[in-house]
Amino acid sequence: MGLRLSWALSAGVVALASCLPAEVLAQPQAPASSPAAAPRTGDVQPLADGIWLLPGRFERGRQPDGNSVLLQGREGLVLIDSGRHAEHTGALIEWARARGQPIRVVLNTHWHLDHLGGNAMLREAVPGLRSLASAAVRDAVAERMPRSAADLRRMLADPATDAQTRRMVEIDLALLERRAALAPDELVGAAPHEIAPAGRRLQVGVERGVSGGDLWVLDRASGILVIGDFVTLPVPFFDTACAELWRDALARLGELPFTRVVPGHGPVMDGEVFRRYVRAFGRLVDCAASEEPAAACAARWAEDLGPLLPEPSRRGATAMLSHYFDAVLRAPPAQRRQYCPA
């Protein structure tokens, strides 16, 4: 078997890991769309007064886009996460233009391309755009992305790389070659504090666990908490994660005064549903640390999530977790220390 796109790349992470079975990439979360799909302006939906959501997509045969949130400020719009594909980012741009409201500021929860890659397109379309993110995003752009671009070029040069993988690699490589546009203009400190981008008052902070420094954003006026990939469905995306730090961060995030949570991938959650996810995550991490077979842990994950993981998604979730158990959760200690301090 030649080089095949890893789940790390498929999940939006600009890094290569072990080969993922083809059946994982074949599991649909939504119908496949055309590569030349029109911007999805009609998919933007209201969440609260002055807040809108463009849901991300996780489709068969292509990499995902994360959820994006738009907030109305006195001086224009604030965007949280910009997606990866042109039709996702284009929908945000066109929707803002139709409202006559410029996007002034983009906040990126972390450096995975399905949340950050659209910044390059945004900067071309929105003169004067400011971007805010954690120091981990700055460091990833400077250090990780050049290495990942070299890895992707090697994949394209390999004649064994299949056509579907080649299309996905080409999209990400094009973004990585514009990585200067992905670097933040301003860094967000870790301790919880208030900012007012475009005149919208928000509480922000940075936790570790998913990518080395993950921004959360709480709109106190509505109680909506945008949490990035601290919550993802159908499974946690462990590619660059430290599961123990992730669990601790979820506990602290659960103490914030939110009413609803916007995850990185998946539907908006109320407090009860979020707490169910947190419990399931903790039990999954405990199971990974035990002698239980990975399949048993995956079955428990599905049982704990219940309606959050509908039957059509369970097969794909089992395959993803099997990969993560091998590549991350039960990897040799030296490999795990890459993202998890001793």
Q: How many angstroms separate the Cα of 308 from the Cα of each of 44, 117, 226, 282, 314?
A: 22, 28, 18, 16, 10
Superfamily of domain 7-233+260-270: Ribonuclease Z/Hydroxyacylglutathione hydrolase-like (3.60.15.10)
Distance CA 226, CA 105 (A): 15
Q: Does the pLDDT at position 18 exceed 70? A: no
* pLDDT of amino acid 30: 40
200 neighbors 184 (Cβ within 8 angstroms): no
* pLDDT of amino acid 13: 39
pLDDT: which is higher, 35 or 61? 61
* pLDDT of amino acid 14: 40
* pLDDT of amino acid 19: 34
* pLDDT of amino acid 271: 97
* pLDDT of amino acid 342: 63
The candidate with the shortest Cα–Cα distance to 227, out of 243, 244, 204, 247, is 204
pTM: 0.91
pLDDT: which is higher, 9 or 114? 114
Distance CA 135, CA 334 (A): 24
Handedness of CA 75, 86, 171, 337 (dihedral sign): positive
Average pLDDT over residues 198-212: 97
Q: Mean pLDDT, the chain, as a whole number?
A: 89
Average pLDDT over residues 1-24: 36
Alpha helices in the chain (DSSP H): 7-10, 22-25, 86-99, 113-116, 119-125, 135-139, 145-157, 163-176, 243-253, 271-288, 294-305, 311-324, 333-336
Residue 2 has phi, psi (to 5 degrees) of -80, -175
Q: Does the pLDDT at position 93 exceed 50? A: yes
Q: What is the pLDDT of residues 217-250, one digit of tens each?
A: 999 999 999 999 999 999 999 999 999 999 999 9
* 289 three-state secondary structure: coil
Lowest mean pLDDT among 122-136, 226-240, 285-299, 324-338: 324-338
Q: Does the pLDDT at position 11 exceed 80? A: no
Q: Does the pLDDT at position 317 exceed 90? A: yes
Distance CA 85, CA 87 (A): 6
Distance CA 63, CA 288 (A): 26
Distance CA 133, CA 116 (A): 10
Distance CA 276, CA 301 (A): 11
pLDDT: which is higher, 18 or 133? 133
The distance in angstroms from the start CA to the end CA of the chain is 35
Q: Where are the domains of the chain?
A: 7-233+260-270
Average pLDDT over residues 149-175: 96
Q: What is the pLDDT of residues 243-269, one digit of tens each?
A: 999 999 999 999 999 999 999 999 999
* pLDDT of amino acid 64: 94
Contacts 24+ apart (CB under 8 A), 55-58: 55/267, 56/83, 56/88, 56/114, 56/264, 56/265, 57/29, 57/30, 57/33, 57/88, 58/29, 58/30, 58/265
Q: What is the pLDDT of residues 97-113, one digit of tens each?
A: 999 999 999 999 999 99
- Residue 325: pLDDT band by 50, 70, 90 thresholds? very high
Average pLDDT over residues 307-329: 93
Under DSSP, the state recorded for 70 is E
